[in-house]
């Protein structure tokens, strides 16, 4: 069965006190209202790097099984790379997931497909789970080039790491024009792109990619999540802005869990 995910990307937001408050509210929801079963919905939060260790410590003390992920990582293990953080360092402080190739990294920090592929290789070699972000720009969308763009982004990783990379990765389809804009892709569009992704990957190696989870990201909120999650090939969501709003974030997690067996606490 394909694993379901709800992943919160906090981006450049938060402070020690704000993080603690946000996590307290998220955890309280799960302790008082529902039990969150990570076998059914894996919930991951991705704070800024400097807070990863503390966020992980808070989460490990709580009763939920929410995991931490980093927003980026170096492709290098060690050396003269000022300002970088290696996959090994992230693993050492308890990080299990890392976003790779987010469109903000691609556009603002010029990360190209080759670098993204190297990062995926580097993360996998440290036993971390890459959350590979792919997606087209508005121009590409309007030109009808979505399938071509996402295929190219996937093939560049396959060329570098092999199809094997996808047995231990998560994919997030995030149309660039939908990120932080309030413009969500229609559920039908999302479903059709996810199908293209799944078919491309199974052509390359069906056994490896059978259980591959493909998430959607881009202006997901509590009102549109159910329709997106109703699509056959949507296995969860990568959430930016709304991941900082505890009530809305937990509502999206619950929506994803609803089709599974959400356990209500009786007390």
Q: What three-state secondary structure class fits 6?
A: strand
DSSP E strand boundaries for 93-233:
97-100, 129-134, 170-173, 213-217
- Verify whether residue 75 is a known catalytic residue: no
Catalytic: which of 104, 111, 174, 248? 174
Residue of 28, 17, 1, 15 whose CA lies nearest to 249: 28
238 binds ligand PGA (CB under 6 A): yes
Strands 236-239 and 4-9: parallel
Closest to ligand PGA by CB, 89 vs 185, is 185
Given candidates 4, 5, 6, 9, which one binds ligand PGA under the rule CB under 6 A? 9
Query: Is residue 240 a contact residue for ligand PGA (CB under 6 A)?
Result: yes
Note the maximum CA span of the chain. Answer: 55
First to last CA, the chain: 31
Q: What are the φ and ψ backbone dihedral angles of 95, each rounded to 5 degrees?
A: -80, 140
Which residue, 163 or 214, has its beta carbon nearer to ligand PGA? 214
Contact region with ligand PGA (CB under 6 A), list: 59-67, 108-116, 195-203, 212-220: 212-220
CA angle 6, 191, 206 (to 5 degrees): 85
Of 179, 193, 197, 214, the one binding ligand PGA (CB under 6 A) is: 179
The residue among 120 and 238 lying less far from ligand PGA, judged by its C-beta, is: 238
Catalytic site residue from 29, 102, 136, 248? 102
CB of 172 to ligand PGA, least distance (A): 7
Q: Name the residue nearer to ligand PGA (CB basis): 127 or 180.
A: 180
Q: Report CA 83 to chain centroid distance, whole Å.
A: 23
220 near ligand PGA, judged by CB under 6 A: yes
Out of 219, 224, 250, 255, which residue is the one contacting ligand PGA (CB under 6 A)? 219
Between 60 and 183, name the residue whose CB sits nearer to ligand PGA.
183
Tally Cβ neighbours within 10 Å of residue 188. Answer: 10
Q: What DSSP line would sit under 174-195, residue for residue? A: --GGGTTTS-PPPHHHHHHHHH
Residue 217 C-beta: closest distance to ligand PGA, Å: 4
Based on the shown chain and the rule CB under 6 A, indicate whether residue 180 belongs to the binding site for ligand PGA.
yes
Exactly one of 69, 87, 130, 217 binds ligand PGA (CB under 6 A); that residue is 217
Whether 102 sits among the annotated catalytic residues: the reply is: yes
Part of the chain binding ligand PGA (CB under 6 A), chosen from 119-127, 141-149, 185-193, 217-225: 217-225
Return all residues near 12 (Cβ < 8 A) that are at least 6 apart: 48
Taking the complex as a whole, the smallest distance from the CB of residue 12 to ligand PGA amounts, in Å, to 11
CA-to-CA dists, residue 240 to 56, 109, 166, 192, 223, angstroms: 19, 18, 23, 23, 15
Active site residues: 102, 174
Question: What is the contact surface with ligand PGA in residues (CB under 6 A)?
Answer: 9, 174, 179-180, 217-220, 238-242
């Amino acid at each position: 069965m394909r694993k379901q995910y709800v992943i919160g990307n906090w981006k450049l937001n938060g402070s020690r006190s704000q993080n603690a408050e946000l996590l307290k509210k998220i955890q309280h929801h799960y302790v008082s209202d529902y039990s969150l079963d990570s076998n059914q919905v894996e919930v991951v939060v991705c704070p800024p790097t400097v807070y990863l260790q503390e966020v992980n410590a808070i989460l490990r003390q709580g009763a939920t099984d929410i995991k931490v992920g980093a927003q980026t990582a170096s492709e290098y293990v060690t050396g003269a790379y000022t300002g970088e953080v290696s996959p090994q360092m992230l693993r050492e402080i308890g990080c299990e997931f890392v976003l790779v190739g987010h469109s903000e990294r691609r556009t603002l920090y010029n990360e190209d497909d080759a670098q993204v592929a190297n990062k995926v290789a580097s993360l996998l070699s440290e036993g971390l789970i890459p959350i590979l972000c792919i997606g087209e720009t508005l121009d590409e969308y309007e030109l009808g080039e979505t399938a071509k763009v996402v295929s190219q982004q996937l093939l560049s990783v396959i060329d570098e790491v092999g199809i094997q990379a996808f047995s231990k990765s998560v994919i997030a389809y995030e149309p660039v024009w939908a990120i932080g804009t309030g413009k969500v892709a229609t559920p039908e569009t999302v479903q059709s792109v996810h199908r293209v992704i799944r078919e491309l990957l199974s052509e390359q190696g069906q056994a490896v990619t059978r259980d591959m989870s493909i998430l959607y990201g881009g202006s997901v909120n509590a009102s549109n999540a159910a329709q997106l999650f109703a699509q056959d090939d949507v296995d969860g969501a990568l959430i930016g802005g709304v991941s900082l709003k505890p009530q809305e974030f937990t509502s999206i997690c619950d929506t994803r869990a609803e089709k599974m067996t959400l356990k209500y606490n009786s007390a």
